[in-house]
Amino acid sequence: MIEAHDVTVRLAGKRIVSGIDFEARPGEISAIVGPNGSGKTTFLKALSGDLGYDGSIVINGREVSATRPVEAATMRAVLPQATSLAFPFTVHEIVRLGLVGGRSGVLAGETERLPERALAKVDLDGFSGRFYQELSGGEQQRVQLARVLCQVWAPVLDGKPRYLFLDEPVSSLDVKHQLIIMNIARDFAKRGGGVITILHDLNLTAMYADRIFVMHRGTLAAAGTPAAVLSDSLIEKVFDCRMRVGVLPSGDVPFGDVPFVLPQSVAM
């Protein structure tokens, strides 16, 4: 489990995240939503150990700030919002970087095949020899996800859950590949791991997230299940626009009673 208590993050002396309590459980997708500039990425970086913080963040019983990077790499893998490369790496070379820690969780004889399996999983079968810079933005995003998956291929290692930190993993993707990536996240959670992801599409969030954490001006505005959190009043308060939230009956979708936002109802 990931538990955060009274977390505050300052950058260049400015408070970006203030006093947040947060809990992400293995077996679940925890989605962080909120408008641009609300502190989502900063908070995710604190959770993953990439930024310093005040307060407490504990992963599987260990304080993140006291965990060595090599140890943290066995517990979680991070997909950043954007990744730039200056050298002409092939897709295969990039995905193999996920194996550097040596704790993917597969049998030793299967390690060499893992990059190809990861690429197939993100619908990039046959891309191994391509140069990364020649790919579209969406394809590059999926290559990076394949790398991250190699790092924590087994969602549970030595009896402890592992975690995927995904910062806007579907931002550059078409609808088909958005669903593929979110299904990968769901499968990782179903097999015992945990997923913490930043999303902007509220309808996609409602379909896949077990719990939603809504950030607003560096604080936590709401937290709970999609049905409990997504409401007309919350969207107006946090996103500064009026939208109507409906609910799909459980018989119409395989996910139960799922709230949805009607874009046609928007009013500024």
Q: Residue 225 belongs to a domain with what CATH number? A: 3.40.50.300
CA distance 250 to 190: 20
How many other CB atoms sit within 10 Å of the CB of residue 256? Answer: 13
User: What would the DSSP string read from start to end of 29-48?
Assistant: EEEEE--TTSSHHHHHHHHH
The verdict on residue 54 lying in a domain is: yes
Q: pTM of the entire structure? A: 0.92
Pairing of strands 194-198, 211-216: unpaired
Look at the chain and report how many structural domains it folds into.
Answer: 1
Angle at 167 between CA 67 and CA 27, to 5 degrees: 70
Is the Cβ–Cβ distance between 218 and 161 less than 8 Å?
A: no
The residue segments making up the domain with residue 164 are 2-82+158-239
pLDDT tens digits, one per residue of 78-115: 999 887 787 889 999 999 999 987 677 766 767 789 99
Q: pLDDT category, 267, cuts 50, 70, 90?
A: low
